[in-house]
């Protein structure tokens, strides 16, 4: 057990370190792009700076949530802050969508009245942003695969790197072909992509916060396999939800065929826990045992 705890602690330190590095990189990029956008007159560069600033906020939120999620439970907070990372993912997804809407409004305004842009400055600053965000993306990529909070931060950075690539292309087209309207079009396309990825993340985090049944869980199938176990009559009044990325909970009433002892029920419970873990990855099970209780055993789910 000691080795497992040490490994988890070390893993968390690496995650937090990577977030801090990404925060510092994005602060530098944001400052450079704001100055460059004002000097060059590039809306795409300023919009990229705005997105980078939202990256800084999202990374700070993710960092705080990561720290909070490891706080111990207490009498007043029996789950601790385990949901902090899901809340951070929800906030970050919301900011992605809000930033995207603001960019669309500005892109439409600028498209109607295009302005001459200092393309050389746009090109160099977008290259810097690509390198900075690219490094941040690599730092967070592994964590993003299994953690919704880190995925929200990762998506902020990934979309910003893509935005910087688009700004670079726009800068080259403006430099060599004087296509200044490209600046607005690229901003608009970047914003649409932000809405797409932001909405998906917003939907996932909202489902977890609302305690919806995870998409991969078929409650009727859960009931069917548990009901096959010896001494089990019917599993009913079932609730299944994700507490965070790592914990999948089930609570239910269990009608038994016999009036068994507590020791015997412990064996039944152990079988149920093993079955649910192996088949559905449910790792926290709370069962209320019943025998001859006068309630409906046919109601699978109920408030």
Domain of 262, in residue numbers:
219-290
Q: How far is CA 156 from CA 141, 219, 262, 284, in A?
A: 12, 34, 51, 32
User: What per-residue confidence (pLDDT) applies to 171?
Assistant: 80
* Low pLDDT (below 70) residues in the chain: 1-11, 44-45, 48, 114-117, 302-303
The string over 149-183, giving b where at least 16 C-beta atoms fall within 10 Å of a residue's C-beta and e elsewhere, is: bbbbbbbbbbbbbbbbbbbbebbbbbeeeeebebb
Question: Where among 174, 209, 244 does a domain terminate?
Answer: 209
Same domain membership, residue 56 and residue 125: yes
Same domain membership, residue 192 and residue 75: yes
| 156-187 pLDDT, tens digit each | 788 878 877 877 887 888 788 877 777 778 77
Same domain membership, residue 285 and residue 175: no
User: What per-residue confidence (pLDDT) applies to 1?
Assistant: 37
Nearest to 136 by CA among 56, 70, 34, 196: 56
Tell me how far apart the alpha carbons of residues 182 and 36 are, in angstroms, rounded to a whole number.
18
Same domain membership, residue 204 and residue 224: no
Domain of 283: which CATH number?
3.30.70.1350
Same domain membership, residue 79 and residue 149: yes
Question: Where among 209, 239, 273 does a domain terminate?
Answer: 209
Q: Does any domain span residue 302? A: no
Whether residue 41 contacts residue 117, with contact meaning beta carbons closer than 8 Å, is answered with: yes
User: What per-residue confidence (pLDDT) applies to 275?
Assistant: 97
| 251-284 pLDDT, tens digit each | 999 999 999 999 999 999 999 999 999 999 999 9
Number of domains in the chain: 2
Same domain membership, residue 151 and residue 238: no
Strand, coil or helix: 93: helix
Same domain membership, residue 134 and residue 94: yes
Domain of 146: which CATH number?
1.20.1510.10
Same domain membership, residue 253 and residue 195: no
Q: Does any domain span residue 114? A: yes
Q: Helices H, strands E: what count in the chain?
A: 8, 3
From edge to edge, which strands make up the β-sheet containing 284-290? 232-242, 248-256, 284-290
Q: Does any domain span residue 36? A: yes
Q: Does any domain span residue 12? A: yes
Q: Does any domain span residue 297? A: no
């Amino acid at each position: 057990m000691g080795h497992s705890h040490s490994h988890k602690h070390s893993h968390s330190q690496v995650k937090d370190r990577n977030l801090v590095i990404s925060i510092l990189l994005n602060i530098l990029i944001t400052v450079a792009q704001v100055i460059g956008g004002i000097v060059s007159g590039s809306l795409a560069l300023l919009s990229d700076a705005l997105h980078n600033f939202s990256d800084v906020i999202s990374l700070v939120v993710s960092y705080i949530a990561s720290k909070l999620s490891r706080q111990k439970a207490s009498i007043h907070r029996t789950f601790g802050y385990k949901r902090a990372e899901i809340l951070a993912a929800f906030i970050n997804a919301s900011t992605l969508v809000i930033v995207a809407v603001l960019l669309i409004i500005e892109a439409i305004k600028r498209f109607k009245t295009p302005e001459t842009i200092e393309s050389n400055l746009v090109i160099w600053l977008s290259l810097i942003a690509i390198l900075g965000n690219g490094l941040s993306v690599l730092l967070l990529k592994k964590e993003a695969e299994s953690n919704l909070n880190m995925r929200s931060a990762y998506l902020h950075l990934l979309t910003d790197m893509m935005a910087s690539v688009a700004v670079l292309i726009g800068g080259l087209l403006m430099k060599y072909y004087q296509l200044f309207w490209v600046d607005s079009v690229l901003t608009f396309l970047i914003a649409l992509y932000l809405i797409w990825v932001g909405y998906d993340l917003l939907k996932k985090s909202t489902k977890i916060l609302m305690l919806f049944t995870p998409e991969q869980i078929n409650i009727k199938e859960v009931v069917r396999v548990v009901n096959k176990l010896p001494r089990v009559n019917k599993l009913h009044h079932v609730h299944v939800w994700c507490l965070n990325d790592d914990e999948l909970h089930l609570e239910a009433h269990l009608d038994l065929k016999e009036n068994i002892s507590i020791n015997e029920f412990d064996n039944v419970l152990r079988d149920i826990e093993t079955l649910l873990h192996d088949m559905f990855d449910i790792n926290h099970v709370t069962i209320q045992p019943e025998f001859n209780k006068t309630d409906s055993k046919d109601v699978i789910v109920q408030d």
